[in-house]
């Protein structure tokens, strides 16, 4: 998927003895979005924006050791080892023959190196140039910045596609806000800016600007613009869209004191596991301190300052825990960390309360299971059948407000809440709306300038496509509907497969979300809900929705 950006100059941070300035260059291809003001909470913003940079460069994928040189050396030594092993079998002649073969081999390698030398040199120069002059080419996508009437927020994704970061800054972070225009744009956020951010000091007056001048197009200044074209894998965009859907899933929520997060990071810094399991078991008991057990050592950290206030006892395990070290820099400036755990091996979210700023860290089930493959969480979101007129009503109302809760939109449009949630779910997957985990509101945020090719993104996981075929062929029967007080609507059904009949059971809660489910198929037996619902669960839900 090709993204085209056009920036007015480059983003810059300047600093001298008495003042500093931050100027982000926005994408001039998009509708004018700008902001001009002065930073008030300088140190807190510096630490938060630096933590966001840690998300951008994060890549914890397994990188095997390069054994090319060893294999070449072993191949050269193999003949010598064979001769030494066959001691007594005319060793002198064998050694002489080995020397002769080694000489011939060295000549061949020398010729090879001579022929390939220009290629090796050019390749090294190319990558050195990228790293030193155009380091952004090593990253995937420039961050997305959105200006809203109440706040400004940055969003980014890690290189390994398993970590999502969002920094929200209310206007209390700034002073002397001169002008702003609400909207979403991509900003030129080069890696060199990170070092410049570290120069921000509390005693320096710091200007903050998403440059409005970037939208003044003049032929004489054409050289100030530079084009950036990034060919993104569909998995990156798909993963970005899955984050908001995962945020809406039912979750166990509790607050952690900053010192508890410090203790987590300290343990991870001090010890490196060599064997599995590499997980954290959160033990949650109502009215008692949160307990975290680090495996495989079974070391328990009792969070004495953090009580769990949920209604029932739970034990939830998460993996990919070393990504929590991204929060390390926020500990000195955070008031608390709110944790949202959606289930065993499912995504988790950590919202750092920085006063007038909020930093949201979203982690997929585990590092190797990135957001694109972590599960089709949009399939577990509200799936109401929404006609085009209702969708347009919902989007038009949200566009006038910029942010709102589903109940507010429902009251304003006259639509029922289920229809509003279904429409918002559709726009979330279209990249036009984002769910704000901190406020519980939906916000307008258009991820790209052009409409995303949803047909290319929709069926990366074949489950929904297979479910649609089952429904079209009338192979699904709803056998039972039961309203369970305090839980939701329980549906049971039969789905005729190629070999046998399957019996899925799903529970849809009051927000029209799939909260519980099980099936007797192999997909559920193997993965449970870690990779989203199976085709039989989805087919049952689609059939019920159609009726």
Pair 255, 357 in one domain: yes
Q: Is residue 102 part of a domain?
A: yes
Check pLDDT > 80 for residue 325. yes
pLDDT tens sequence across 193-229:
677 778 788 887 888 877 655 433 333 333 443 434 4
For range 490-499, the mean pLDDT: 91
Q: How far apart are CA 39 and CA 175, in angstroms?
A: 6
DSSP SS3 for 159: coil
Looking at residue 297, what is its pLDDT? 93
Pair 478, 416 in one domain: no
Q: Is residue 117 part of a domain?
A: yes
Percent of the chain with pLDDT over 70: 74
The label of the residue with tokens 């998995």 reads 235
For range 43-55, the mean pLDDT: 89
Q: Is residue 116 part of a domain?
A: yes
Looking at residue 476, what is its pLDDT? 93
Give the CATH number for residue 288: 3.10.150.10
Looking at residue 1, what is its pLDDT? 45
Q: Taking Cα atoms as reference points, which of 355, 439, 352, 350 lies closest to residue 402? A: 439
For range 164-186, the mean pLDDT: 85
Q: Is residue 238 part of a domain?
A: no
Percent of the chain with pLDDT over 90: 31
Asked which of 311, 345, 379 is the last residue of a domain, the reply is 379
Give the CATH number for residue 419: 1.10.10.10
Check pLDDT > 80 for residue 141. no
Q: Taking Cα atoms as reference points, which of 49, 30, 418, 5 lies closest to residue 208? A: 49
In which domain, by residue range, is 520 found?
462-546
Pair 331, 303 in one domain: yes
Which residues, 6 or more positions from 30, have their beta carbon under 8 angstroms from its beta carbon?
A: 183, 184, 185, 186, 449
pLDDT tens sequence across 74-88:
777 776 676 666 555
Q: Taking Cα atoms as reference points, which of 166, 165, 139 lies closest to residue 151? A: 166
Structural domain total, the chain: 5
Q: Is 522 exposed, middle or buried (0-12, 13-18, 19+ CB in 10 A)?
A: exposed
Q: How far apart are CA 397 and CA 392, in angstroms?
A: 8
Looking at residue 227, what is its pLDDT? 39
CB 170 within 8 A of CB 150: yes
Looking at residue 377, what is its pLDDT? 62
Looking at residue 375, what is its pLDDT? 53
Please tell me the least confidently modeled range out of 4-8, 29-33, 261-265, 451-455: 4-8
Looking at residue 94, what is its pLDDT? 64
Pair 338, 483 in one domain: no
Reading the block at residue 409, the tokens are 């939109």
Pair 269, 316 in one domain: yes
Pair 486, 537 in one domain: yes
pLDDT tens sequence across 459-481:
445 787 788 889 889 999 999 99
* DSSP bridge partners of 484: 488
pLDDT tens sequence across 268-303:
999 988 887 889 999 999 999 999 999 999 999 999
Pair 392, 275 in one domain: no
Asked which of 136, 155, 184 is the last residue of a domain, the reply is 136
DSSP SS3 for 237: helix
Q: How far apart are CA 487 and CA 498, in angstroms?
A: 33
pLDDT tens sequence across 100-112:
877 887 787 777 7
Q: Is 455 exposed, middle or buried (0-12, 13-18, 19+ CB in 10 A)?
A: exposed
Q: How far apart are CA 230 and CA 165, in angstroms?
A: 20
pLDDT, greater one: 315 or 250? 315
Pair 451, 319 in one domain: no
Asked which of 431, 456, 481 is the last residue of a domain, the reply is 456
Pair 532, 410 in one domain: no
Q: What is the pTM of this model?
A: 0.70
Q: Is residue 161 part of a domain?
A: no
Which residues, 6 or more positions from 453, have their beta carbon under 8 angstroms from its beta carbon?
A: 1
Looking at residue 490, what is its pLDDT? 93
Q: Left if phi > 0, otherwise alpha if psi is -120 to 50, otherwise beta: which for 378?
A: alpha
CB atoms near residue 540 (< 10 Å):
31
Looking at residue 85, what is its pLDDT? 63
Q: How far apart are CA 354 and CA 335, in angstroms?
A: 6
CB atoms near residue 411 (< 10 Å):
14
Looking at residue 443, what is its pLDDT? 92
CB 48 within 8 A of CB 168: no
Check pLDDT > 90 for residue 34. no
Q: Taking Cα atoms as reference points, which of 265, 314, 274, 264 lies closest to residue 297? A: 274
For range 27-50, the mean pLDDT: 79
Check pLDDT > 90 for residue 337. yes
Please state whether the peptide bond connecting residue 296 to the residue before it is cis, i.e. omega within 30 degrees of 0: yes
Pair 269, 343 in one domain: yes
pLDDT, greater one: 361 or 19? 361
Check pLDDT > 90 for residue 404. yes
Looking at residue 498, what is its pLDDT? 84
């Amino acid at each position: 998927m090709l993204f085209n950006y056009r920036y007015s100059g480059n983003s810059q941070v300047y600093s001298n003895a008495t003042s500093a300035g931050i100027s982000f260059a926005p994408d001039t291809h998009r509708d004018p979005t700008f902001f001009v003001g002065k930073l008030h909470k300088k140190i807190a913003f510096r630490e938060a924006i630096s933590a966001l940079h840690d998300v951008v460069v994060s890549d914890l994928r397994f990188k095997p050791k390069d054994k090319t040189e060893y294999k070449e050396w072993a191949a050269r030594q193999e003949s010598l080892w064979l001769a030494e092993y066959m001691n007594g079998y005319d060793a002198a002649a064998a050694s002489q023959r080995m020397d002769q073969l080694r000489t011939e081999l060295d000549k061949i390698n020398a010729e090879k190196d001579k022929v390939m030398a220009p290629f090796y040199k050019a390749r090294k120069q190319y990558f050195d140039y990228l790293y030193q002059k155009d380091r952004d080419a090593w990253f995937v996508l420039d961050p997305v910045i959105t200006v809203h009437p109440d706040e400004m927020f940055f969003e980014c994704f890690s290189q390994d596609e398993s970590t999502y970061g969002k920094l929200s800054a209310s206007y209390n972070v700034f002073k002397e806000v001169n002008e702003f225009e609400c909207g979403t744009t991509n900003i030129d956020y080069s890696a060199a800016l990170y070092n410049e951010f570290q120069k921000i000091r509390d005693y320096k007056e710091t200007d903050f600007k998403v440059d409005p001048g970037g939208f003044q197009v003049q032929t004489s200044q054409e050289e100030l613009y530079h084009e950036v074209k990034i060919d993104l894998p569909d998995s990156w965009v798909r993963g970005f869209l899955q984050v908001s859907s995962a945020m809406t899933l039912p979750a166990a929520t509790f607050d952690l004191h900053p010192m508890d997060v410090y203790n987590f990071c300290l343990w991870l810094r001090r010890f490196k596991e060599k064997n599995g399991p590499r997980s954290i078991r959160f033990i949650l008991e109502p009215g008692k301190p949160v307990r975290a057990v680090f495996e495989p050592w079974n070391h328990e950290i009792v969070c004495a300052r953090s009580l769990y206030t949920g209604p029932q006892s739970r034990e939830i395990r998460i993996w990919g825990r070393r990504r929590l070290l991204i929060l390390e820099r926020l500990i000195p400036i955070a008031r608390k960390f709110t944790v949202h755990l959606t289930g065993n091996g499912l995504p988790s979210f950590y919202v750092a309360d920085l006063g007038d700023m909020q930093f949201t860290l979203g982690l997929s089930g585990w590092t190797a299971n990135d957001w694109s493959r972590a599960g089709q969480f949009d399939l577990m979101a509200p799936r109401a059948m929404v006609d085009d007129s209702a969708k347009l009503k919902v989007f038009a109302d949200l566009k006038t407000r910029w942010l709102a809760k589903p109940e507010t939109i429902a009251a304003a449009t006259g639509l029922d809440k289920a229809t509003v949630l279904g429409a918002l779910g559709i726009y979330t997957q279209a990249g036009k709306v984002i769910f704000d985990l901190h406020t519980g509101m939906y916000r307008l945020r258009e991820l790209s300038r052009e409409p995303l090719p949803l047909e290319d993104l929709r069926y990366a996981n074949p489950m929904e496509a297979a479910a649609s075929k089952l429904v079209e062929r009338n192979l699904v029967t709803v056998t039972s509907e039961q309203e369970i007080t305090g839980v939701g609507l329980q549906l049971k059904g039969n789905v005729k497969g190629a070999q046998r009949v399957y019996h899925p059971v799903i529970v849809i809660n009051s927000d029209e979300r799939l909260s519980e489910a099980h099936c007797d198929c192999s997909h559920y037996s193997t993965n449970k809900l870690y990779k989203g619902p199976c085709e039989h669960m989805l087919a049952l839900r689609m059939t019920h929705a159609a009726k």
